[in-house]
Amino acid sequence: MRYLTKGFQPASCISNLGLVYMQQAAVEIAKGDAVFHDGSGYLTNVGTAFAATFLGISAEDSDNSGGSDGDLNCAYTPALASQMYWVKAATTTLVAATHIGLTVDLDANDSIDPGDTTCLYYGFKIVKVDVSANAVAANTQGFAKGYFVHTADES
């Protein structure tokens, strides 16, 4: 496996899902970032926890940080349970087999927090972990494979 330490990486071919294009806020979005609706009609990657505004995973690098809201469109893959991703764990604890089956929250827009199981609206369900020597060399806390699920809301 190739260990990429930036963002959510598809674990399989993205087939029949299609990409969604949305006008982008005045931010830089990296491929693999979790993306959100910013409340004003634009796509943003400003988020460190799942929320009702979570849309999916950016499919491309897009830098609109020097522009205005809506100057660029950015493609993303919708958050669907049928698509698996590998992502780094970004906490101070090594991801472990005991995390398999848990639904966890984001740590940042490009990583998960295996210790945070308080998820609103969406979560990342872990189905496999990789803490091999190569994985830990690339990211000290290892990597998790999983998919997005809907969770309970605030009400």
Task: For residue range 69-87, list pLDDT tens digits in order.
Answer: 999 999 999 998 889 999 9
B/e letters for 57-74, b = 16+ CB within 10 Å, e = fewer, are: bbbeebebeeeebbebeb
Q: Does 154 have pLDDT greater than 60?
A: no
pLDDT at 36 over 90: yes
The span from the CA of 54 to the CA of 121, in Å, is 8
Alpha helices of the chain — where are they, by DSSP H?
Answer: 133-138
- Residue 144 CA to residue 133 CA, distance in Å, equals 14
Q: In this structure, are residues 146 and 126 in contact, taking their beta carbons and an 8 Å threshold?
A: yes
Residue 155 pLDDT > 60: no
Residue ranges per domain, the chain? 15-78, 85-150
pLDDT at 152 over 90: no
- pLDDT at residue 65 is higher than 80: yes
The whole-model pTM stands at 0.93
- State the pLDDT at residue 12: 79
What pLDDT is stored for residue 15 in this prediction? 65
